[in-house]
Each structure stands twice: as structure tokens, then as C-alpha cells.
Amino acid sequence: MTRADADSWDIATSVGATATMVAAARAIASRERDALIDDPFAEPLVRAVGLDFFTRLIDGEIEMSDDDGGAATWLITNVMAVRTRFFDDFFIAATGDGITQAVILASGLDARAYRLGWPAGTVVYEIDQPKVIEFKNATMASIGAEPTAQRRAVSIDLRDDWPAALRRNGFDDTKPTAWSAEGLLVYLPPEAQDRLFDDIAKLSAPGSRLATEYHPDAGASMGRRAEAFRQRWQKHGFDMNLADLFYPGERNPVVDYLSEHGWRVTARDRTEMFAEYGRHFPDSEELAPMRDSLAVTAIRQ
């Protein structure tokens, strides 16, 4: 399914299906002997979506290691585990330092509002497509899950006037905020990426913090990786090309853009991030394009 300016989706189609993919990865990673994360909600959310491929994947019925010597399974468990832990730690540190507002952009099946130990009085805003929010609200209620913070779900497309919707739900732009844009930027056109950061900056009081990612060669390297996954997934009855969901075009480097627009920025590449969490990112040629991906944190000045 190729992207269009006015396209929409639920949790089982288009960009929404990638949220299910990520939740399946978190479910698998949570079971590892030396797990970096603990997401008890990932598995029930994946099961509720009902996509057979991902259900069989978390049940261990699909062994992708047979296709490529284990590289696909390694990517699912380790890359997503490190990425999830990075954003977990970001929110824990920000709220631990007194920030009481958190905003999760394109929240998908993210369960941080339910599984992190938020300080008393923290308000967590989740923004996503209406169908995605509706699904998660219903599923979490059906399993008796209770938020560990004051959760406010904002049902709106990020291409619409989401800042106004956020304010209508009680967001206070005079207070510092912790923002996350996880697994999001490649699904935005280049100009929309800049607009997103501009909108965040307008809503961010001094001391606000932002965590995101940047893939310097997003189009080429991620497109090749997406096609490789598609070829493996087709063997198991799931035909989705992630590359069709990415927007092409030259992007402003995130570190430079944020630095030029009032943020103090820190960035670590994937090798550094893996080492920080006691993991080693392989030196293989196949994974080389992913090595330069950056985990980015920034503070509003």
C-alpha cells in the first residue's frame, strides 16, 4: 500500500500494522533471559489485533532464523529492545527530574502509560489516529489494565492541527514537557518532519525534553532492509512492504535542525546505544547501514 497525503489506517493496516510489528517485537524481547525491557501488555495487544502472522510469531510457530541464520530474529529482539529501553529511560529520567507532562506522538500500541512507574501527578498524552486510539482503549479496558499515570488519549492525525487538539485535552504549554517521536519520522514527508519539530518547539516551555531517532540514509538502507523482510514474511503468508510506507526525499538532519531551533542536542549511534545496555551491535556488512542510526535527546533552551 503506497502512501497518500490523506491516507488513514487502523491497527491492522498500513502504518498501523507496523505498530503491531513493533509490539510483537517487544513481546518477544520481554521473554529473553537477560531482557532489557518488560512489557506485559505487548502480547495481549498483538493477540487482540488478530493478524495471524504476528500471532504465530509471538507463539514461536514462525522461526525466521531458518531463513537467514538468525539475523531477522536478532533484529526483532535486540534492536527493538534497545530502542524501547532508550525511550523508557528517557521518560523515567525526565519525570524523575520534575517534568509532569509527557507526550507520546504516534503512540500506536505503546503501553508506557500503563507499565512505567510515573511519579504522582504525571499526565501522559497519547496522540494517534482515531481508530488506533479506539482499539487500544477498548483492548486495555478488556484486560483490566489501569494506567499508572493520568492518561489522556488524543485522537487525531499528526497531519491535522494536533497542537490545538492537545490543548483541548488540557495540555499546558507553560510547563516543561517530555516528548517522544519513536519510530515515526520515516513515515512523514521531509517537510512534515520539520513542521512536526516546529510545532513541538512552539509548545515547549524552557527545560522541555525531546527523544527521537534519526536514520541518515533512511530511504536506501531502510528500504533494502524492508524488502529483505518482505521476502521472508511472504513465505509465512504476510505480504507487506514497509518501504511503501516510507516517504522519500532528502531530509534535514535532525541534530542540525533541532540545534538551529533552540534545542541543546545529544546523539549516540546504534553501536554506542547497544554498548550502553551491555549489547554488541554486529560488525556484519548486512547490518552496516543501520550502524549510523542515531538516538537523539534534546533539551529546550
pLDDT, one tens digit per residue, over 259-270 is: 999 999 999 999
pLDDT band at 239 (very low <50, low <70, confident <90, very high): low
pLDDT band at 221 (very low <50, low <70, confident <90, very high): low
CA 94 to chain centre: 18
pLDDT band at 134 (very low <50, low <70, confident <90, very high): very high
Predicted confidence at residue 151, as pLDDT, reads 98
CA–CA separation, 110 and 26 (whole Å)? 10
Q: Are 118 and 96 in contact (CB under 8 A)?
A: no
Q: Is the pTM of this model over 0.85?
A: yes
pLDDT, one tens digit per residue, over 152-162 is: 999 999 989 99
CA–CA separation, 109 and 98 (whole Å)? 26
CA–CA separation, 119 and 115 (whole Å)? 12
Phi, psi angles (nearest 5°) of residue 213? -130, 160
Topology of the domain covering 82-231+245-300? Rossmann fold (3.40.50)
Q: Are 73 and 32 in contact (CB under 8 A)?
A: no
pLDDT surpasses 90 at 171: yes
The average pLDDT across 243-268 equals 90
CA–CA separation, 231 and 266 (whole Å)? 36
Residue type, 17: A
Q: Are 103 and 180 in contact (CB under 8 A)?
A: yes
pLDDT surpasses 60 at 219: no
Predicted confidence at residue 205, as pLDDT, reads 98
Neighbouring residues of 160: CB distance < 8 A, sequence distance ≥ 6: none
Predicted confidence at residue 120, as pLDDT, reads 98
* The three three-digit cell numbers of residue 180, written as one number: 517522544
pLDDT surpasses 70 at 5: no
Q: CA 192, 193, 194: angle at the middle one, nearest 5?
A: 90
The average pLDDT across 39-48 equals 97
CA 259 to chain centre: 22
Residue by residue, DSSP assigns 71-130 as HHHHIIIIIHHHHHHHHHHHHHHHHHTT--EEEEET-TT--HHHHS-PPTT-EEEEEE-H
CA–CA separation, 147 and 208 (whole Å)? 23
* The three three-digit cell numbers of residue 61, written as one number: 510457530
